Amino acid sequence: MITVSHLSKTYQDPDGSRLTVLKDINCEIHAGEVISIIGPSGTGKSTFLRALNLLDPPSGGSIEVDGENILQKGYPVHKLRQKMGMVFQNFNLFDHMTVLENVMYAPCKIRKKSVEQAREEGLALLRKVGLAEKAGVYPSSLSGGQKQRVAIARCLAMKPEVILFDEPTSALDPTMVGEVLSVIRQLAKEGMTMLIVTHEMKFARDVSTRIFFMYDGYIHEDGSAEQIFEAPRRSATKAFVQRIRKEVFEVNGQDYDFLDMETSIRRFCFKYNIAGKSDRALQACKLMVEDIMKDYFPMTVRITHSEMSEETALDFMVEGLETSPLPASGDFLEKLRGMCREIVEEPTSRGFRVKLRLD
Ligand code: ADP
Ligand code: MG
């Protein structure tokens, strides 16, 4: 369906400096594929999607869609826009139109549909994304998740052959990520061809038929979801997919800001989809800071989570300490053991660390 050859993009700054963001992109995208594009920020994922959709003309190479080079002079952009829809991070809805008018606008304007037919199809699409009851309201009264579902319905109204999603959930409150991902999952089930730039690794692993890992201006590695996540071949891919999320806070004494710590831990657990662990993480943290290690201030506390291995841990580090701060026995220690899968006591180059593995 889409063949990309030697695609490149160089940005030229007003001051004359140049930045080559896409160096040599080559790929084939077949009908029915769901491809997640992952990679560190600044590696050209958005630039690539914008080039595919002719929102931002590339500097070189070719893009064939259904056998036609869309970069050739005189190629009618409106033809591409009917085949290829795009959903943005920030929804880009028309704020002065109701939800239904947003969905009806392009079919009426570009596809020359009758108002009646556009309305009927628009309502059916809103029903599909669970928002039929919001048809008459303005976008400003919707939540972020609802806005993004409207944006998807609006995109579907053009009956595209392929949809490009550029981080569709990254502007959303974590509570609303799920509702948008389930709409995309449903489209995947129905066989829609999609390219999805996302940081939701679990979602990418579940939904994709293929993954592109973008790095340094190239599709650095391309493979099945299983291969990329379970057995990445290249070291940059491996470092990216196996990366560990962390949040660090300092505890300087007994008068530490426990509400701040509680908020940090809960936010962290929420963000990485481990809200079920947040109570236990918090209890273990309090037990350590307020009882077991109360004579070891200042200390650094760190919560870490690996999305791939799904391991969550709490580290308590005290600089300059040479032996473990944990007692050999006692009620506190028993209580702590009951909360953790494993307790690791280890000297480090700068002090001593107690690691609690939570799973
Ligand atoms: P990603 O989506 O992977 O985070 P982008 O495609 O947004 O990356 O950007 C890649 C690089 O190109 C970044 O360094 C960014 O600053 C630069 N860039 C993006 N758009 C422009 C632009 N319009 N002008 C100049 N530089 C840009
Ligand atoms: Mg981007």
Q: What is the pLDDT of residues 15-45, one digit of tens each?
A: 888 999 999 999 999 999 999 999 998 999 9
d(C-alpha 151, C-alpha 145), whole Å: 10
Neighbours of ion ligand 2 (CB under 5 A): 46
How much is the pTM? 0.83
Q: pLDDT value at position 271?
A: 82
- Report yes or no: 93 and 139 within 8 Å, Cβ to Cβ: yes
- CA-nearest of 10, 3, 2 to 217 is 10
Determine if ligand 1 sits within 6 Å of the CB of residue 12.
no
The answer to whether the CB of 226 falls within 8 A of the CB of 233 is no
Residue with the nearest Cα to atom 11 of ligand 1? 42
Q: Which residues contact 23 (CB under 8 A, 6 or more apart)?
A: 8, 216, 217, 218
Residues 8/58, Cβ–Cβ less than 8 Å: yes
Output the residue whose Cα is nearest ligand 1's atom 18. 11
- Asked if 298 and 250 touch (Cβ cutoff 8 Å), the reply is yes
Q: Are 153 and 168 in contact (CB under 8 A)?
A: no
Residue 111 has pLDDT above 90, yes or no: no
Convert the pLDDT of each residue in 118-130 to its tens digit: 999 999 999 999 9
CA atoms within 13 A on the CB side of 295: 5
The closest alpha carbon to 194, from 37, 67, 61, 39, belongs to 37
Element (H, E) at 261: helix 258-271
Confirm or reject: Cβ of 198 under 6 Å from ligand 1: no
pLDDT band at 308 (very low <50, low <70, confident <90, very high): confident
**Using CA atoms, how far apart are residues 22 and 277, in angstroms rounded to an integer?**
40
The span from the CA of 322 to the CA of 341, in Å, is 24
Cβ-Cβ contacts under 8 Å for 307 (sequence gap 6 or more): 201, 202, 243, 245, 272
| Index of the ligand 1 atom closest to the CA of residue 39 | 3
56-83 tens-digit pLDDT: 999 999 999 999 999 999 899 988 988 9
Q: Looking at the CA of 166, which ligand is closest?
A: 2
Bond before 298 cis per omega within 30 degrees: yes
Indicate whether 145 pLDDT > 80.
yes
Please give the structure tokens belonging to residue 222: 């391309």
DSSP string for 90-115: T----TTS-HHHHHHHHHHHTS---H
Interval 155-173 mean pLDDT: 94
Q: How many CB atoms lie within 10 A of CB 318?
A: 20
Enter the tokens of residue 336.
Answer: 């702590």
The label of the residue with tokens 């009908």 reads 31
Whether residue 19 has its Cβ less than 6 Å from ligand 1: yes
Mean pLDDT of 229-244: 92
Q: What's the rounded Cα separation, in Å, for the pair 281 and 337?
A: 13
The token pair that represents 168 in the structure block: 């569709």
Residue whose pair of structure tokens reads 């308590």 in the numeric block: 316
pLDDT score of 339 = 93
